[in-house]
């Protein structure tokens, strides 16, 4: 990842994401998702951070994450992805890069965008038609947001700050598609 190190400072929040080269899948089976998450949690011990929202999809991923120290948060991804791609290439007998390009990131600066990003990230599996309900997707922290599961990759600060409770979050996420159609997302980026 080619990132200006000065952008990555303690307490800054980032939307970090990447997509595979078409037509490759990043995760082909359940064990692939679990291996990635295990490696990610291990790297968070070296590079402390707070995960607000994440979603792993078959061909891409999204994380909304706050850097916890002066150690750049992108290093979690560099280290995790490096070991994961080596494992993936060996397991599936392939060579070379798996991703379209460098790790992508947006430094999140506005409250409205921060709250909206959680909905955007969590809604990915339903929008892609992978599941009928978000509760059916195991590989995001939506289940933590609505109180069904207790996982380590979740901090409830945004939930408590911007939403009344888990039920309110569930209601707002159902409104997500309407906001996208009205191009509210574009307006938030311009704020």
Instruction: For 112-152, write each residue's pLDDT tens digit.
Output: 899 999 999 999 999 999 999 999 999 999 999 999 999 99
Q: Which residue has the higher pLDDT, 120 or 3?
A: 120
- Quick one: tokens of 97? 């890069």
Q: What are phi and psi of 49, to 5 degrees?
A: -155, 165
CA-CA-CA-CA torsion sign (129, 132, 138, 141)? positive
List CB contacts of 191: < 8 A, sequence separation 6 or more. Answer: 110, 112, 113
Q: Note whether 104 and 157 are within 8 A (CB).
A: no
Helices (H), 128-156: 142-145
Tell me the pLDDT of the chain averaged across its residues.
91
Greatest CA separation for the chain: 48
**Given this model, what pLDDT does residue 112 score?**
85
Strand partners, 65: 14, 51
- Per mean pLDDT, which range of 93-97, 135-139, 140-144, 183-187 is the poorest? 183-187
> What is the pTM (predicted TM-score) of this model?
0.90
* CATH code given to domain 5-190: 3.30.70.1290
Taking the CA of residue 84 as centre, how many other CA atoms within 13 Å lie in the half-sphere pointing to its CB? 26
Q: Where are the beta strands (DSSP E) in the chain?
A: 13-19, 49-56, 60-67, 104-108
């Amino acid at each position: 990842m080619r990132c200006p190190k000065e952008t990555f400072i303690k307490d800054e929040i980032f939307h970090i994401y990447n997509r595979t080269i078409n037509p490759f899948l990043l995760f082909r089976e359940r064990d692939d998702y679990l291996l990635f998450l295990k490696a990610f949690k291990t790297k968070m011990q070296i590079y402390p951070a707070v995960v607000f929202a994440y979603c792993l999809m078959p061909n891409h991923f999204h994380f909304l994450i706050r850097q916890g120290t002066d150690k750049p948060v992108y290093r979690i991804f560099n280290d995790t992805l490096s070991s994961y791609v080596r494992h993936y290439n060996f397991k599936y007998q392939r060579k070379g890069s798996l991703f379209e390009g460098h790790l992508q990131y947006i430094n999140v600066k506005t409250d409205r965008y921060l709250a909206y990003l959680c909905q955007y990230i969590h809604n990915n599996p339903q929008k892609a038609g992978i599941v009928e309900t978000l509760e059916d997707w195991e590989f995001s922290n939506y289940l933590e947001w609505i109180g069904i599961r207790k996982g380590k990759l979740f901090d409830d600060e945004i939930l408590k700050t911007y939403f009344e409770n888990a039920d309110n979050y569930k209601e707002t996420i159902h409104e997500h598609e309407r906001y996208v159609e009205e191009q509210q997302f574009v307006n938030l980026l311009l704020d």
